[in-house]
C-alpha cells in the first residue's frame, strides 16, 4: 500500500499527467493481487469539499501552481483528472501500473514537457502506440517509468515497459479484465470515493515488507463512500492471528481515546470521533465510521479555529539550517 501511494504521488507530480471517475473493473487485469482507486471527480463535486477548499490556504497555493503547470501541460490536474486506478499482479519491488482517466489531454504539450524534464528519455513502439520511458528519483533510488496514451482520455504509466504493455493488452481486450464479482473487487461500489484492496498476500512478502499492515495481514481492504451527504468508511483486515486482530482494535481504540481527550472541549470533533467503531471476529479486524458531511465540515472548521487560537511555536533551526543561513 505504501508503494501504491508513492506511485500515485509520482504520477500526479511527474511529467506525464493526469473515461470515468468511478472504478472500471474490466480495465484492471484479471490476475491483479492489489489495486487502489481514487475518484477525483466525485471528491471535487462533494459539497463538503466545495465549502472547505476556499478556506484552505494549501488549496489556494496549489491552485496557483497548478494554473502555471496547466499552461505547459495542456491540462489542469486539479480539474481535469477524473479518476486514477493503480494495480499489480505481484507484491514487492518496483511494480504496478496506474490508469489515469481525464476529461481532456494535449498530447503535444505533455510530450513536450516530458522532453523538457527528461531529455534523456527513450521511446519505443507497441502496436500503434508510442511508449515513453524515463527515470526518476524515488527515496534516494532510481525508478524506471514508462507511459503512453491508451486513448484521448486515458493515460497509462507503470514501473517498466512490460507492465505497461500488459495493461494495454487488458484495455484492448487481448487479456481478461476483472469480473464484477472477482474477489479483488467484490463488495466495493464502483462509485466509491476511494478504495484499495490487497488479497493473497504471500508469507515471504509479509516477512520483508515495511508496511505495518501487510506485515501482519493476509488481506486488507479500505473503502470510503458518500451518499445523500453521508460519508461512510470501512477497513477490513484478515490478520495472521486473533491476537493480531485484537492488537489492531486496541490501537484504534487507543487513538480514539487520545483524540477525544485532546478535543474534549470541541464537541464538533468528538461527535465525529463517536462515529468510529471497530470489532474483532477471529483473525478478522473491522473498523467502520459513518458521519454526515455537515458534521465533518463543522469538525474541520472547529479544528482550524483551535489551531488559530493556539498556534504551534516555530521550529528552531537545526545545525544544518543555521549553516545554510550563514552561507547565504
Cα 131 from chain centre: 24
To the nearest 10°, the Cα dihedral for 108, 109, 112, 116? -170
Angle at 41 between CA 231 and CA 147, to 5 degrees: 125
Provide the strand spans (E) within 94-198.
97-102, 122-126, 129-138, 141-151, 154-158, 194-198
pLDDT of residue 132: 96
pLDDT of residue 75: 82
To the nearest 10°, the Cα dihedral for 222, 218, 284, 251? -70
Cell triple for residue 58?
Answer: 494549501
pLDDT of residue 298: 87
> What pTM, to 2 d.p., does this model score?
0.82
* Helix count and strand count (H, E) for the chain: 12, 12
pLDDT of residue 5: 40
As a whole number of angstroms, the distance between CA 243 and CA 9 comes to: 34
Please name which of 159, 137, 136 lies closest in space to residue 146, comparing C-alpha atoms: 159
Confidence of residue 14 (pLDDT cuts 50, 70, 90): very low
Please name which of 155, 124, 163, 158 lies closest in space to residue 143, comparing C-alpha atoms: 158
More confident residue, 114 or 13: 114
The pLDDT tens digits of the residues spanning 52-66 come to: 766 666 666 777 777
Mean pLDDT, the chain, integer? 85
The pLDDT tens digits of the residues spanning 205-250 come to: 999 998 889 999 999 999 999 988 889 999 999 999 999 999 999 9
Q: State the residue for C-alpha cell 504493455.
A: 165
As a whole number of angstroms, the distance between CA 156 and CA 87 comes to: 11
pLDDT of residue 306: 75
Confidence of residue 89 (pLDDT cuts 50, 70, 90): very high
pLDDT of residue 140: 75
Q: What is the mean pLDDT of residues 299-318?
A: 71
Is 284 a residue whose pLDDT tops 50?
yes
Provide the strand spans (E) within 264-325.
276-281, 284-292
Quickly count: other Cβ atoms within 10 Å of residue 291's Cβ.
18
Amino acid at each position: 500500500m505504501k508503494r501504491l501511494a508513492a506511485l500515485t504521488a509520482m504520477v500526479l507530480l511527474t511529467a506525464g499527467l493526469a473515461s470515468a471517475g468511478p472504478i472500471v473493473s474490466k480495465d484492471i487485469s484479471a490476475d491483479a493481487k492489489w489495486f487502489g482507486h481514487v475518484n477525483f471527480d466525485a471528491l471535487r463535486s462533494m459539497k463538503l469539499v466545495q465549502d472547505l477548499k476556499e478556506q484552505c490556504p494549501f488549496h489556494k497555493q496549489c491552485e496557483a501552481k497548478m494554473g502555471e503547470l496547466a499552461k505547459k501541460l495542456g491540462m489542469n490536474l486539479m480539474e481535469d483528472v477524473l479518476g486514477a486506478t493503480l494495480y499489480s499482479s505481484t507484491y514487492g519491488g518496483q511494480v504496478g501500473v496506474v490508469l489515469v482517466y481525464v476529461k481532456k489531454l494535449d498530447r503535444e504539450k505533455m510530450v513536450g514537457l516530458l522532453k523538457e524534464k527528461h531529455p534523456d528519455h527513450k521511446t519505443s513502439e507497441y502496436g500503434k502506440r508510442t511508449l515513453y520511458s524515463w527515470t526518476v528519483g524515488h527515496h534516494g533510488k532510481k525508478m524506471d517509468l514508462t507511459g503512453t496514451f491508451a486513448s484521448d482520455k486515458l493515460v497509462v504509466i507503470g514501473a517498466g515497459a512490460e507492465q505497461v504493455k500488459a495493461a494495454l493488452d487488458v484495455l484492448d481486450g487481448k487479456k481478461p479484465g476483472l469480473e464484477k464479482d472477482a474477489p479483488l473487487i467484490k463488495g466495493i461500489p464502483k462509485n466509491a470515493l476511494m478504495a484499495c484492496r490487497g488479497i493473497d498476500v504471500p508469507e515471504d512478502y509479509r516477512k520483508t515488507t515495511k508496511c505495518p499492515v501487510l506485515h501482519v495481514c493476509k488481506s486488507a481492504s479500505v473503502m470510503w463512500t458518500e451518499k445523500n451527504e453521508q460519508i461512510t468508511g470501512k477497513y477490513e483486515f484478515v490478520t495472521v492471528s486473533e491476537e493480531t486482530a485484537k492488537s489492531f482494535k486496541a490501537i484504534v481504540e487507543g487513538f480514539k481515546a487520545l483524540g477525544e481527550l485532546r478535543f474534549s472541549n470541541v464537541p464538533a470533533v468528538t461527535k465525529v470521533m463517536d462515529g468510529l467503531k471497530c470489532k474483532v471476529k477471529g483473525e478478522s479486524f473491522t473498523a467502520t465510521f459513518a458521519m454526515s458531511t455537515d458534521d465533518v465540515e463543522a469538525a474541520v472548521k472547529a479544528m482550524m479555529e483551535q489551531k488559530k487560537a493556539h498556534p504551534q511555536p516555530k521550529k528552531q533551526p537545526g545545525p544544518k539550517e543555521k549553516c545554510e543561513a550563514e552561507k547565504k
